Amino acid sequence: MEARPLKDGGFSYRYHPVDGKPLSLGRDKAEAIRKVLDLNGQGSDEGTFSHLWRLYQESRQFKRLAESTKDQYRDNWKELEKVFGKGHVTQLRPKSVARYLRVYREAAPIVANREVALLSNLCKLAVERGDIDRNPCKEVSRNPEQPRDRLVEKHELDAFVAWALKQGKSAVVLVSMAQFAALAGNRRAEFLDLHWPQVDEEVVRLQRAKQRGSKSKRELVGVSAALKEVLDRMRALPGYSPMGAVFRAPKTGNPYSESGFKAMWARLMQKALDEKIVEARFTFHDLRGHYTTYFKLQFGSLPELHADPATTAGVYDRTRVVSRKAL
């Protein structure tokens, strides 16, 4: 392919086939490259974001991620693909990233931040491959984020649990998982696949999520009277096996998949809102905040939940009343 300088600036491109006359390719470099690839029977999406996404999934960086993070990235890609999938990485400009954040995904600004984080990873891969020299995503500020401050009070959680225990077998499992999150403070990803060999009368053995290699930590969560009640309830359900899953779906006896859990939890929460059992929706992330706040209230200090204690204090401590002594 030949690039020919133009008097008014820029270039025009043409292709020289073997033993043939030159073919005009126009002035758009990315389009010219695609035409050459098509002429040579080499896939037409080389250098597109769809191509980069496939390469990224095969990379060591992606393979080291937690399964929950991989699933989240796959969901993020479904939205990104609609806009950027067929686009060539050389054509991406900061203004396009900004428009995606502020206009196209205006209704979901926080999710848009996560999607652009993935887009940035794909651009980083393109930089490493030599497709581009800089990452346009790094030149655009993300949408402002405000940490959630929803505190699930003990009285409303107790009312929700009492109601959910009467809503059928699936609801019993789901609300027991909610209680586990509120009593132990773990992320859902850390106990979604919990099995009985990890549990005894004194502790529950878990692997902390979002930490790898030398930073990886195992957690031993002491079994309180309230937590024992939850675990005993799970043992009493049909299909119990000492080697099986703790929180098992009634129909299959297996742990819920992430997507299956989300769908079931959304329906249960909506029903609770419709029947005015709770006044405002809460998430498992909020239950982690419930644990942190009530732990501090009971023991006078924050629990060790995160690699950075400042994150625990800033994100999960939702104390609304502060007490201190005068001099």
Q: What is the mean pLDDT of each run of 10 residues along the chain (327 residues)?
A: 89 86 87 76 73 94 86 94 93 96 94 96 96 95 88 95 95 96 92 94 88 72 95 94 94 88 93 95 92 92 84 83 80
**pLDDT on residue 215:** 63
The domain that holds 238 is classified in CATH as 1.10.443.10
Q: Which residue has the tokens 């991620």?
A: 65
State residue 202 phi and psi, 5-degree precision. Answer: -110, -35
Q: Are residues 175 and 88 in the same domain?
A: no
**pLDDT on residue 40:** 66
**pLDDT on residue 257:** 87
How far is it, in rounded angstroms, from Cα 10 to Cα 207? 56
Q: Are residues 203 and 235 in the same domain?
A: yes
**pLDDT on residue 45:** 74
pTM over 0.85: no
State both tokens at 64: 């080291």
**pLDDT on residue 313:** 85
In the DSSP assignment, the letter for residue 292 is H
Q: Are residues 107 and 242 in the same domain?
A: no
Q: Are residues 32 and 66 in the same domain?
A: no
Which residues, 6+ apart, have CB-to-CB distance to 276 below 8 Å? none
**pLDDT on residue 31:** 82
Q: Are residues 282 and 187 in the same domain?
A: yes
- Parallel, antiparallel, or unpaired: how do β-strands 218-222 and 23-26 relate? unpaired
Q: Are residues 234 and 102 in the same domain?
A: no
Q: Are residues 296 and 158 in the same domain?
A: yes
Domain count, the chain: 3
**pLDDT on residue 310:** 85
**pLDDT on residue 148:** 80
The domain that holds 60 is classified in CATH as 1.10.150
